[in-house]
C-alpha cells in the first residue's frame, strides 16, 4: 500500500550559513520530511515493512549537527539523498529545511527550501 511516512517540525540547534558568524553561532533549524513508500506494515505490523521514522529523524539530526554548510539547499540535499538510500520501497522524499527565525534585519518567521527526490 502506498504510504506517506513523515517527520514534522524536527527542531535542531545548528550552525549553517554564508557568513562566518552563521557558521559559528547556533540557531534553530526546522526540518520536515515526507517519504512516499510502498509499505506492507498495514498488513504485517512489522517495522521492516515500512520506513522507520526514527531512523529518518536521526539522519536529519546528524546532517544538521555535522559539518557547517553555506546553504540550506545543501543541507536538504544531504538529508534527502541519505533518506532515499534507506530502502528500495521509497518512491519519493520531500525535505524542507528552514531557519527559524532567519538572520534578517526585519521580522520573518522562517526562510528555507524544499527539495523533492525520486527514484
The domain segmentation of the chain, as residue ranges, is 2-118
What phi and psi, each to the nearest 5 degrees, are found at residue 32?
-120, 130
Confidence of residue 79 (pLDDT cuts 50, 70, 90): very high
| Architecture field, domain 2-118 | 2-Layer Sandwich (3.30)
- Number of other CB atoms surrounding residue 10 within 10 Å: 16
Residue 104: C-alpha distances to residues 33, 112, 114 (Å): 25, 13, 20
* pLDDT of the residue at 21: 85
Cis ω before 101 (30° cut-off from 0): yes
Contact status, residue 81 vs residue 117, Cβ threshold 8 Å: yes
* pLDDT of the residue at 19: 87
- Alpha-carbon gap, residue 114 to 94, rounded angstroms: 7
* pLDDT of the residue at 103: 87
Residue whose C-alpha is closest to residue 118's, from 74, 80, 79, 61: 80
Taking 90 as the threshold, does the pLDDT of residue 24 lie above it?
no
Radius of gyration of the chain (CA): 15
Q: What predicted TM-score, i.e. pTM, was given to this entire model? A: 0.94
**Mean of pLDDT over the chain:** 95
* pLDDT of the residue at 35: 98
Give the residue with greater pLDDT, 99 vs 1. Answer: 99
Amino acid at each position: 500500500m502506498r504510504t506517506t511516512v513523515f517527520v514534522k517540525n524536527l527542531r535542531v540547534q545548528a550552525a549553517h550559513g554564508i557568513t562566518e558568524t552563521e557558521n559559528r553561532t547556533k540557531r534553530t533549524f526546522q526540518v520536515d520530511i515526507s517519504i512516499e513508500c510502498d509499505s506492507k506494515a498495514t498488513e504485517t505490523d512489522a517495522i521492516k515493512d515500512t520506513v522507520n521514522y526514527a531512523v529518518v529523524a536521526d539522519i536529519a539530526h546528524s546532517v544538521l549537527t555535522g559539518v557547517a554548510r553555506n546553504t540550506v539547499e545543501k543541507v536538504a540535499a544531504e538529508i534527502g539523498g541519505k533518506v532515499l538510500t534507506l530502502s528500495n520501497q521509497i518512491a519519493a522524499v520531500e525535505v524542507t529545511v528552514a531557519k527559524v527565525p532567519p538572520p534578517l534585519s526585519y521580522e520573518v518567521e522562517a526562510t528555507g527550501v524544499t527539495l523533492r527526490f525520486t527514484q
